[in-house]
């Protein structure tokens, strides 16, 4: 589409083809704040004129302060927009158009009002493997779609799995393509080398400074599925360096106290995802053929895993608190941390009994 960043002024144009060159203020009215990040705030926006590609008039508008962006951040924003412009999938947050004025960039994206997937799960009174399986299947299908098009997300985590509405528990949207990257060519699985992601979800090959590709997303999904079923993370340490050691060695276990009510098929899916060597880790397309994913609904509906909800609620509270203190890991800070520098900061995973017991048990067995 030919839109590019200029060093001083940034991006120009719109994500929708053929739209008139109207200023942002001529097309949208900004409303209440919906969220905020290190360099931006997301606000409710209402369009004054029709927006190509949708009948909606309400949007989530990401407002980014130009002055807060380094050249590296600017290039990352360009990359995020270029990738989001390409994607039209019902389970991916859509970018409709984007603008700039002298001080700010404005990204007009699809508004979803269902909140985070995990927030919905912890409010349930009953929870079955069928509900978990349906969510996991949607995530795998969506990521298979992206991977087939050479797009790696690189920051899959609970915060980036959103629900479209307050009534539908399965209509998931994958969000935040700030670290997404294109891979192509015969060696696409080893095309990237930047150290980036979020502690606890980052794949071991990234921590080991190895070249990588789409399969880092499979590892992250494996961590998410583990939490979704067991209620706590597979890798836990109060110390960032120790956490990375556990991930690089793949030290985790299915602690009987918390996993005895989870089916072997579900555990096997996780084992297939959390394979240290990415060359032996199956793709999302392959995992869609796994026995747990293809199991009949009646059987999975009868597998009550409500016992995991208490642990998940405790973990979720601590996750949200940590998220309020620590923003997403910038690529340059992740690189420093993996290299052994202290600038990355002291990271604390959920300190609940479940996570501690699980990781201690895994370390003892290994």
Q: Which active-site residues does the annotation give?
A: 155
Residues 6+ apart with CB under 8 A from 111: 44, 56, 58, 59, 60
| Phi, psi dihedral angles at 35 (to 5 degrees) | 180, 175
Nearest to 30 by CA among 18, 45, 15, 17: 45
237 neighbors 359 (Cβ within 8 angstroms): yes
* Beta-bridge partners for 161: 174
Q: Which two three-digit tokens encode residue 124?
A: 């349930």
Nearest to 215 by CA among 290, 287, 160: 287
Residue matched to tokens 């979020």: 198
| Phi, psi dihedral angles at 325 (to 5 degrees) | -95, -45
* Beta-bridge partners for 109: 60, 95
* Alpha-carbon gap, residue 310 to 297, rounded angstroms: 24
* Alpha-carbon gap, residue 149 to 122, rounded angstroms: 33
Distances (CA, A) of 46 to 55, 78, 101, 259: 12, 24, 18, 46
51 neighbors 97 (Cβ within 8 angstroms): yes
The Cβ of residue 256 has, within 10 Å, a number of other Cβ atoms equal to: 8
1 neighbors 13 (Cβ within 8 angstroms): yes
157 marked as binding residue: no
Q: Which two three-digit tokens encode residue 160?
A: 């980036």
The three-state DSSP-derived secondary structure of 285-301 is HHHCCCHHHHCCHHHHH
* Alpha-carbon gap, residue 171 to 52, rounded angstroms: 23
Strands, E assignment, 202-287: none
| Residue stretches of the annotated binding site for ATP | 62
Query: Which parts are annotated binding residues?
Result: 62
């Amino acid at each position: 589409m030919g839109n590019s960043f200029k060093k001083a002024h940034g991006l120009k144009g719109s994500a929708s083809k053929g739209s008139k060159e109207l200023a942002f203020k001529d097309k949208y009215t900004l409303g209440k704040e919906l969220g905020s990040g290190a360099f931006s705030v997301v606000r409710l926006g209402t369009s004054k004129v029709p927006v190509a590609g949708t009948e909606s008039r309400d949007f989530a508008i990401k407002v980014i302060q130009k002055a807060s962006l380094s050249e590296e951040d600017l290039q990352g924003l360009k990359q995020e927009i270029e990738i989001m412009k390409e994607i039209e999938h019902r389970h991916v947050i859509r970018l409709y158009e984007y603008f700039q004025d002298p001080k700010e960039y404005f990204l007009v994206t699809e508004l979803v009002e269902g909140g985070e997937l995990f927030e919905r799960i912890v409010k349930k009174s009953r929870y079955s493997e069928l509900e978990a399986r349906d969510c996991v299947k949607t995530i795998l299908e969506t990521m298979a779609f992206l991977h087939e098009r050479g797009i790696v997300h690189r920051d899959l985590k609970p915060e980036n799995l959103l629900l479209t509405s307050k009534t539908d528990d399965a209509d998931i949207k994958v969000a935040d393509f700030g670290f997404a990257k294109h891979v192509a060519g015969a060696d696409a699985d080893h095309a990237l080398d930047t150290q980036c992601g979020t502690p606890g979800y980052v794949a071991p090959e990234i921590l080991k400074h190895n070249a990588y590709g789409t399969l880092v997303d499979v590892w992250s999904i494996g961590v998410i599925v583990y939490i979704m079923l067991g209620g706590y993370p597979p890798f836990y340490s109060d110390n960032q360096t120790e956490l990375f050691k556990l991930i690089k060695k793949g030290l985790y276990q299915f602690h009987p106290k918390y996993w005895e009510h989870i089916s072997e098929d579900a555990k096997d899916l996780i084992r297939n995802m959390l394979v240290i060597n990415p060359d032996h880790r199956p793709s999302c397309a392959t995992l869609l053929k796994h026995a747990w994913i293809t199991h009949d609904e009646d059987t999975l509906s009868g597998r009550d895993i409500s016992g995991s909800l208490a642990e998940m609620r405790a973990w979720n509270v601590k996750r949200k608190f940590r998220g309020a203190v620590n923003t997403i890991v910038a690529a340059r800070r992740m690189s420093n941390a993996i290299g052994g520098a202290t600038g990355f900061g002291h990271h604390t995973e959920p300190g609940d009994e479940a996570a501690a017991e699980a990781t201690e048990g895994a370390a003892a067995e290994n």
